[in-house]
A = this chain, B = another copy of it.
Amino acid sequence: MDGTSRLLIMGGAAGPDLLGRFVELSGGAAARIVVIATASEAPATAEQVYLQRFSEHGAGTVRALRLSCRAEANGPAAGAVLREATGVFFTGGDQERITGVLGGTAVDSLLHELVGAGRVVLAGTSAGAAMMAGTMIVGGDRPGVTADSVRTGPGLEFLPCVLIDQHFAERGRLNRLLSAVARYPHELGVGIDEDTAILTGGDSFEVLGSGAVTVVDAGAATDIRVPPAGPIVLAGARVHVLPAGCTFHLTGRRPVTGPPSPERERAT
């Protein structure tokens, strides 16, 4: 999978295994990691947390890139920092701050170029994960599967044709993901649990971490009706619950589940 985009998309609350994996993918002792905390209301604190963690995991160099406004994201200083990086990490917070500050800027273009060329591993957690998709969920936690139980907006499209939701099992968000894919059945719904991630490579992703990734595919649905208010009809959607080791083919919309390990046998 060399030469293709590597995205490490984490569902929030990433533990040492995932953070260590990011350092390793970025080059380990040779890694030059850049932390961008634009999503956070307290960027200095968020930067400090991840600078320390990535250093503890043995990254060669780690630095923060503070991008608080579009002028900074269009300025020459940011580009110089990013061109040196082997890994870029987006913290959590509010995904609309990322798209609002970075969307369409020189940093946005440069990141796509560097990631597409395989020169940078792009990682993000929570809001930093949501913004990577073609469409991101920006709000909505009403129960039920209804048009107004989810609000979406365009993401930065590092991973197009996918709609990412995070803190997935922990916040019981399957209904809101079902609502989103019922409205946009061309988008594959990918719900990522906390301390869990997908790592893309080529046209597929692998699941990493302690939880699971839930893929909801409304492309297979035989009947979808979305009234402006009230419950949605969604018949025949597919759902896949995939823990660590499982692989999913994106264009084929099918899981390629991993080999069973001894502790993965069916319970009796």
Contact of A144 among B211, B234, B242 (CB under 8 A): B211
Most buried by B among A211, A227, A230, A233: A233
Q: Which residues from B are CB-within-8-Å of A239?
A: 178, 216, 234, 237-239
Q: A240 an interface residue at 8 Å Cβ cutoff? A: yes
A265 smallest CB distance to B (angstroms): 7
Closest to A178 in B: B241
Choose one: B231, B234, B267; the contact of A244 (CB below 8 Å).
B231
Stretch at the interface among A45-53, A97-105, A107-115, A166-174: A166-174
- Contacts A147-B267, A265-B227, A267-B227 given; does A232 touch B212 at CB 8 Å: yes
Query: Would A241 and B145 count as touching, CB distance under 8 A?
Result: yes
- List chain B residues, Cβ under 8 A from A182: 241
Most buried by B among A173, A216, A223, A254: A223
For A145-187 the 0/1 string (1 means CB < 8 A from B) is: 1010000000000000000000001111111001000110000
Contact of A264 (CB < 8 Å), options: B225, B242, B266: B225
- Stoichiometry (number of copies): 2
A246 with B233: CB separation less than 8 A = yes
Q: How far is the CB of A144 from chain B (nearest CB, A)?
A: 4
Q: How far is the CA of A211 from the CA of B227 in the complex (A)?
A: 13
Min CB distance, A256 to chain B, in Å?
9
Q: How distant is A189 from chain B, measured CB to nearest CB, in Å?
A: 11
Q: Evaluate contact between B243 and A232: CB separation under 8 angstroms.
A: yes
**What B residues does A212 contact at CB under 8 A?**
144-145, 231-232
Q: Closest chain B residue to A260 by CB distance?
A: B225
Does A236 make an interface contact (CB < 8 A)?
A: yes
What residue of chain B has the Cβ atom nearest to residue A177's Cβ?
Answer: B174
CB–CB B264/A227 < 8 A: yes
Chain B residue contacts of A265, Cβ below 8 A: 225, 227
Say whether B233 contacts A264, CB under 8 Å. yes
Task: Give complex CA distance A178, B165 in Å.
Answer: 18
Contact B260 A231 (CB under 8 A): no
8 A Cβ contacts from A206-238 to B: 210-212, 214, 216, 222-228, 230-238
Q: Are B144 and A193 in contact (CB under 8 A)?
A: yes
Q: Quick check: is A257 within 8 A (CB to CB) of the other chain?
A: yes
Does the CB pair A240–B237 fall under 8 Å? yes
User: Can you list 26 A-B pairs, Cβ within 8 angstroms, ordered by A?
Assistant: A143-B169, A144-B169, A144-B193, A145-B169, A145-B212, A145-B214, A172-B172, A172-B173, A172-B174, A174-B175, A182-B241, A210-B230, A223-B255, A225-B260, A226-B266, A227-B263, A227-B264, A233-B246, A233-B257, A235-B240, A236-B240, A236-B255, A237-B238, A237-B239, A237-B240, A238-B238
